[in-house]
Chains A and B, each alone.
Chain A
Amino acid sequence: MTWHIARDDDRITVAGELRIRDGREIWKTLTAAAKRTAPKIDLDLARTSALDGTIMALLVQLRNELHARGTRCEIVGATGAVASLVQLYGGTEPAPAPRMRPPRHSVIERLGAATAHFLERSREPAVFFGDVLSAIPDMLRRPARRSWRGLPLLIARAGADGMPIVVLLNFLVGFLFVFQSTPLLEMYGANIWAADLIGIAGTRELAPLITAVIVSGRSGAAFAAQLGTMRVTEEIDALRTLGISPVQYLVLPRIVALAIAAPLLTLVADVAMITGGFIVGISDLGVTPRGYLAELRLAVLPWDVWSGVVKSSVFGITIATIGCRQGLATSGAAAGVGRSTTETVVRCLFAIVVLDVLMTMLFRGVGAVR
């Protein structure tokens, strides 16, 4: 060992060459040496031949800790290069005053602060939604030419580009749904009801829901990432200084795009899901194709399909609104964009399920569905 640390009554002597490779051992020895309290303990570096800046940082930290414990402590005896390091690392400056503990708040105070914070956070989406609504009359009065030029592309990206994954997932869900119901249907000799099962559940619930989940992951996240990137590169600010409302130029076209694309995808999803069930019906349950389709026609009413379309339109508007809001609220650099994207998907999934329950109850309440 090339270093030595010893404690006298009012002095810790640090001798030899102290390097970062021995940092752990040095710190342990220093803190052990400083354990025994005294009104004054100096750190004596007169016999220190060389030391790293890291070790000097530890010595200054020890001095500050002793000071906080009420022990007067100075770094003394340093000469030459060691003295320069002492000065560089603030060892000659007075030790900082010990940090005050933050005052403890009562449960009621913390509850109040949490409520205020929650209300503040709830206000922002409400303000954004208000901005979106108030931009609609402006847009109708003076539609910006450029705002709507990109609409077909937005619909194509959200709709046509997402079609393969929507078709595949909905087909598989339809297939699995009927496949898992097979034993029960066979037990009651109700094989033909496979068509009723997937026809009604698929068009009303499953297809809109699964499509909305896919749209959240694809388009909602993409909107948050696009607008978030524009926010951190000051493009949103540039738009504002050109007198162009980001809500009118960026948000409204995206909301309209998803309000159109999501129902169209849902109609395709209905067909894919029913096809999945159809395959199991004719291969596993012994139902004839003609019989399956005839039962399907009897079971599924037009409103079953339309209720799914209405739901998916609401889902589309919600996903675009959440994605755009999160994007425009992005702060920080690239990490902020990542955070907004993740947050968008989580919020969209939550909102979709809650809205689905509310709309299902509403449709049942007004007698629109059986």
Chain B
Amino acid sequence: MTTAPTPRAAPILEARDLAIGWNPERPLVEHASFAVQRGEIFGILGRSASGKSTMLRALVGLAQPLAGEIRILGRTPEELPGPPPFGVMFQHGALFGSQSLGQNVAFPLETWTDLPGDAIEAIARAKLRLVGLEGSRDKLPSELSGGMRKRAAIARALALEPPLLFLDEPSSGLDPITSAEIDRMIQTLARALGLTVILVTHELGSIQSIVDRCILLDSDSSSVLAAGAPHQLADSDNPRVRHFFERVPEAS
């Protein structure tokens, strides 16, 4: 069982009255306000098409929110200087297909640091070791399984030592053992590196085993249906929230 860390005054990420989606007349989610504290593993949950990935895209600056404000380390995304203070792992990894895993991890270091080539190589090797892929440094993404691609993407996301890590469905589409391994790896890395992790998922296993606090998005009501620790949401008075955790179909 995980315990939520003691909240501190300044959140690492804050969303205020956020509306997301493509159609301003019918946002996927609106009036979403939440704050993520340093060191937390924070879950953005919801059913398919509830706006989880769109929320993540808005938080990392890939999609413009329809309304509201996002602050990361107290600044709006436009005010953030230099390399972004966060890493992102996309659902299918989004590794650069023409580059080996080592090159993928070295890429942000080559772009944003003036380290010599051998130092960059050593750092890339160390990052790949963190995710258990030290032996696959020279492999191309196409030679890897889905789970390995996701792990490599985490290594790349951690290349510039960001304090904040966004993960889009890290354990979806994987077998239960690999899925549990990834969950454990995320938890270990977060605790060891002092990372704040924002996790988009609908995998109940991940939610219950590693998430400290979460919000549940609902596209029917275009709102954040509930917020709190997973066990609190599982015992919620709101039947729709409870049904999500009990895997009860809506029609029931």
Contact = CB atoms under 8 A, between A and B. Distances in A.
A48 B155 CA distance: 63
A234 B91 CA distance: 9
Interface stretch (B4-12, B30-38, B104-112, B122-130): B104-112
Contacts of A235: 94-97
Interface in B146-160: 153, 156, 160
Given A238-B88, A241-B84, A242-B84, A233 B111 contact: no
B83 interface: yes
Interface of A is mostly: helix
B94 A242 contact: no
A243 B112 contact: yes
A237 B94 contact: yes
B62 A145 contact: no
Given A233-B97, A243-B82, A243-B83, A238 B90 contact: yes
Given A146-B111, A240-B62, A241-B62, A234 B92 contact: yes
B73 interface: no
B120 to A, nearest CB: 10
A126 B92 CA distance: 32
Contacts of B62: 237, 240-241
Interface residues on B, range: 20 to 34
A144 interface: yes
B107 A146 contact: yes
A304 B57 CA distance: 53
A242 B162 CA distance: 10
Contacts of B94: 233-235, 237-238
A-B interface, 9 closest residue pairs, ranked by CB to CB distance from nearest = A234-B94, A238-B94, A241-B88, A243-B83, A234-B90, A242-B108, A243-B84, A235-B94, A146-B110
Given A146-B110, A235-B97, A241-B87, 17 more contacts: A144-B111, A229-B97, A230-B96, A233-B92, A233-B97, A235-B95, A235-B96, A237-B57, A238-B88, A238-B90, A240-B61, A242-B83, A242-B108, A242-B111, A242-B160, A243-B84, A243-B111
9 contacts: A145-B111, A230-B96, A233-B92, A233-B94, A238-B90, A241-B60, A241-B61, A242-B83, A243-B108
